[in-house]
Structure 1
Amino acid sequence: SFGGVERRAKRGDAVPPGFVRLSVGCEPVEELWQAIEASLDGIGG
């Protein structure tokens, strides 16, 4: 549900080590993969 989105944005729920939280909308799949790969490359992933 979308009810928890605002709460998580305000409180910043912890993400366990080794996990990644993704928040996406309606985007072309290729654009999403490019953004994910660029982000991981930026952190040495």
Structure 2
Amino acid sequence: MKIFLDTAEISEIKKYIHLIDGITTNPSLVKKSGRNFKEVCTE
């Protein structure tokens, strides 16, 4: 089983990166984070 984190919050990704197999996100999550979609994807 693989575990993915569904977020646009970079702080959450950094916190859980050692426990997960990957990250998913979508425009709705990016909008909730208040950041630019391209900026989040680049980071």
Per the shorter chain, which TM-score range?
Answer: under 0.3
Q: Higher relative contact order by CA 8 Å / sep ≥ 6: 1 or 2?
A: 2
**Which structure's residues are more often strand, by fraction?**
2
- TM, length-normalised to structure 2: 0.25
Q: Which has the larger radius of gyration?
A: 1
**Which structure's residues are more often helix, by fraction?**
1
